[in-house]
Amino acid sequence: MNAANPAAWTTASSAPTPELQLEIERFLYKEAALLDRNDVKTWFELLADDIRYLMPVATNRLGADARSREFAPQREAAFFDETKSSMKQRLKRLQSGLAWAEMPASRTRHLVSNVLVEPTDVGGEYRVESCILVYRSRLERQVDVFAGVRDDVLRRASNVLGWQIARRTIYLDQATLLANNLSIFF
């Protein structure tokens, strides 16, 4: 399963049980609520130590294979390409009161839908694709809407929600972002 390759989506033979599907969907909804409530400390605990948090740049290309080349290759161009350590530094800065991009803090609403789940080759680990719509308002007139798809790897964990995010790749539909900054988490 890969946002850039929809043909790789779950087949009937690897479909999750309804219970597992519901459990993962509930995790994603609770994760969204943590972000919307600005409980980033609890949200940060959901991240695996080896997480890769990536948002590649989308480009507009011409040609028959344009969709397969829509996003920049890994390590080439990204809005985010972070590890847990770099995310921790960003989080510290946001909480310091010195991050102008979040003074005053953004109000967000993370909407998650169209959740597709499939097992990986590693026990207790699942690839999860979900459509997202993230609404952000800040100050009197700043409004941003980000639409796209997330390609996650989730692992069972002994934390508050029972899962951790081992990898998150965010593919935004917009090739040009009009937002003043990208100071929020997706």
Rounded Cα–Cα distance for residues 54 and 151 (Å): 10
pLDDT tens digits, 76-118: 677 889 999 999 998 888 888 777 788 788 999 999 999 999 9
* 1: confidence class by pLDDT, cuts 50, 70, 90: very low
> How is residue 182 written in tokens?
């990208």
Residues linked to residue 170 through DSSP beta bridges, in sequence order? 150
State the average pLDDT over residues 120-139: 95
| Confidence check: pLDDT of 21 > 60 | yes
pLDDT at res. 100? 78
pTM: 0.85
> How is residue 18 written in tokens?
């309804």
Please give the domain boundaries of the chain with CATH numbers for all domains: 16-172 (3.10.450.50)
- DSSP letter at 58 equals B
8 A C-beta contact, residue 53 and residue 33: no
pLDDT at res. 110? 98
- 106 Cβ neighbours under 8 A, 6+ residues apart: 136, 137, 138, 183, 184
The helix/strand/coil state of 33 is helix
